[in-house]
């Protein structure tokens, strides 16, 4: 049962975290050496007076306190928050740039997160129930190996195997750029998108499911040793019911928490994935924004991640009560 006092305290903590994050989101991009107008001027070989005009037009000649007050007012008092104009994609607003790339990232990482959690849950339950057997040894060994393997190495192996030696899947992009589709609801377009997403999803699943497997296996082994499991076995309850209805249901609470928290940080994991597979999502957008010191785009990206993480943490705490009645706040 959740008390009103806990909800108020948890909500207040979330707002304090949100306020601190807003200050960090403003400060971090400006700690990068150099300045956007100098970078643009040197890239396009523009004279010094043009760089000064760019600095004035972007508002970078104003004191940091003035920039911060304007930033806070645009984020808090406007919906959606206004982060201004992108330097790299001038004169496009930041939200227009972000929302152009965001759907691809959400599709890719949501699909991989669901598959990862389901596979990790299944293998964790299997290895716990078959503890001491060759199945547990194999699952645990492979999980530990993959958990310590760099993601980019797995991605490069998949590209080499399924993109070069066995050219089954495309290795770059989100769809075939040379083909024009009339509508995104055509079956051939959907198949094309899924084919391009296959290798990124496979690499994310292979590199991530091990953590779910290990956590689920450890909690499942502990749960199987409880008295109520022994009682259920003595009563002749079916094995399938013992595994899934009694043991797995209680053992999966940490896995659910991990899944929710990873949904909150889902955009943060897009950078390496989209860089390796040239996937047109917000990860590649952030990479280019950092290189070009595009402050508004960097701020917009980290703002979205911050809000998602805070909301995910908030609801993860509340969800525990509904999943386990023994938990009380």
Q: Does domain 102-291 have CATH number 3.30.70.870?
A: no
Domain map (residue ranges) of the chain: 102-291
- Going by C-alpha positions, the residue among 271, 313, 254 that lies closest to residue 109 is 271
Helix, strand, coil percent values for the chain (each to nearest 5): 75, 0, 25
- Contact (Cβ atoms closer than 8 angstroms) between residue 51 and residue 93: no
Phi-psi region of 35 (alpha: psi -120 to 50; beta: other; left: phi over 0): beta
Element holding 93 (H helix, E strand): none
Give the pair of three-digit tokens for residue 40: 């643009």
- 88 membership: H or E segment, kind and range: none
Burial 149-188 (b: 16+ CB within 10 A, else e): eebeebbeebbeebbeeeeebbbeebbeeeeeeeeeeeee
pTM: 0.77
pLDDT tens digits in sequence order for the chain, 329 residues long: 667 787 788 888 889 999 999 999 888 887 777 676 666 666 556 566 666 776 777 777 778 888 888 888 888 888 888 888 887 777 788 888 888 888 888 888 888 888 988 898 889 888 888 887 888 888 888 888 888 888 788 888 898 888 888 888 888 888 887 777 767 777 888 888 888 888 888 988 888 888 888 888 888 888 888 888 888 888 888 878 888 877 887 777 777 777 777 766 666 666 778 888 888 888 778 878 887 778 888 888 888 888 888 888 888 777 766 666 666 66
35-42 long-range CB contacts below 8 Å, 24 or more apart?
A: 35/60, 35/293, 36/60, 36/87, 36/292, 36/293, 36/294, 36/295, 39/292, 39/293, 40/87, 40/292
């Amino acid at each position: 049962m959740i008390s009103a006092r806990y909800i108020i305290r948890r909500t207040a903590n979330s707002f304090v975290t949100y306020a601190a994050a807003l200050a960090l989101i403003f400060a971090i991009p400006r700690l990068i050496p150099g300045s956007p107008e100098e970078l643009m001027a040197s890239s396009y070989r523009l004279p010094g007076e043009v760089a000064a005009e760019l600095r004035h037009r972007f508002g970078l000649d104003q004191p940091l306190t003035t920039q911060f007050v304007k930033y806070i007012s645009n984020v808090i008092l406007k919906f959606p928050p206004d982060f201004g104009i992108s330097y790299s994609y001038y004169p496009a607003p930041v939200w227009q740039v972000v929302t152009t790339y965001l759907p691809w990232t959400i599709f890719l990482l949501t699909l991989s997160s669901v598959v990862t959690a389901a596979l990790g849950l299944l293998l964790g339950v299997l290895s716990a129930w078959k503890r001491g057997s060759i199945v547990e040894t194999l699952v645990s060994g492979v999980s530990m190996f993959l958990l310590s393997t760099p993601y980019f190495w797995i991605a490069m192996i998949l590209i080499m195997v399924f993109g070069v030696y066995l050219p089954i899947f495309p290795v770059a992009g989100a769809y075939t750029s040379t083909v024009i589709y009339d509508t995104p609801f055509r079956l051939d377009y959907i198949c094309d998108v899924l084919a391009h997403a296959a290798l990124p999803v496979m690499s994310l699943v292979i590199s991530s499911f091990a953590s779910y497997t290990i956590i689920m296996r450890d909690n499942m082994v502990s749960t199987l040793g409880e008295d109520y499991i022994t009682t259920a076995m003595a009563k002749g309850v079916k094995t399938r019911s013992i595994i899934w209805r009694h043991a797995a249901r209680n053992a999966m609470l940490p896995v659910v928490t991990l899944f929710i928290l990873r949904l909150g940080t889902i955009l943060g994991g897009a950078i390496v994935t989209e860089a390796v597979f040239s996937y047109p999502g917000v990860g590649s957008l952030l990479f280019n924004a950092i290189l070009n010191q595009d402050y508004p785009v960097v701020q917009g990206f980290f703002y979205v991640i911050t809000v998602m993480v805070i909301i995910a943490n908030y609801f993860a705490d509340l969800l525990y009560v509904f999943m386990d009645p023994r938990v009380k706040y």
